[in-house]
Amino acid sequence: MAQHRIYTMIFAGVYPMYLQKVEKKGRTQAELDHVIRWLTGYSQPQLESQIDARTNFEEFFAQAPALNPNRTLITGVICGVRIEEIEDPLMREVRYLDKIVDELAKGRPMEKILRQS
């Protein structure tokens, strides 16, 4: 089976689009980095290193220090597909990231984005 194109996309190439999306809605780079770190377990220096290294999405998630167990609480539709119905584990991780970036851009409170009570 052919590998999905998004897996080979460079995270550093998509990151500025995430940043533009959230800043356009009044959120900050610090907030974006915070939700990415929450999802992946990267520290800020590790996240910056991944960006500098031009890591692709497959490597970005494979090298993530500690994927947050609460990420499975991220549900809903992204790109017309229900996240909880995505069978491919890597695609599901990418869509979790897309969903929390969308939630950040839509002004959702951080406590809800980070699935805190």
Residue spans of the domains in the chain: they are 5-113
Q: How far is CA 43 from the centre of its chain?
A: 14
Query: Average of pLDDT values for 101-111?
Result: 96
**pLDDT higher than threshold 70 for residue 2:** no
Query: Average of pLDDT values for 19-35?
Result: 97
- Matching CATH number, 5-113, of 1.10.8.290, 1.10.510.10, 1.10.3720.10, 1.10.357.10: 1.10.8.290
pLDDT at 5: 83
Query: Average of pLDDT values for 2-10?
Result: 81
**pLDDT higher than threshold 80 for residue 3:** no
Q: How far is CA 91 from CA 2, 29, 57, 76, 116, in A?
A: 13, 24, 10, 14, 24
**pLDDT higher than threshold 70 for residue 88:** yes
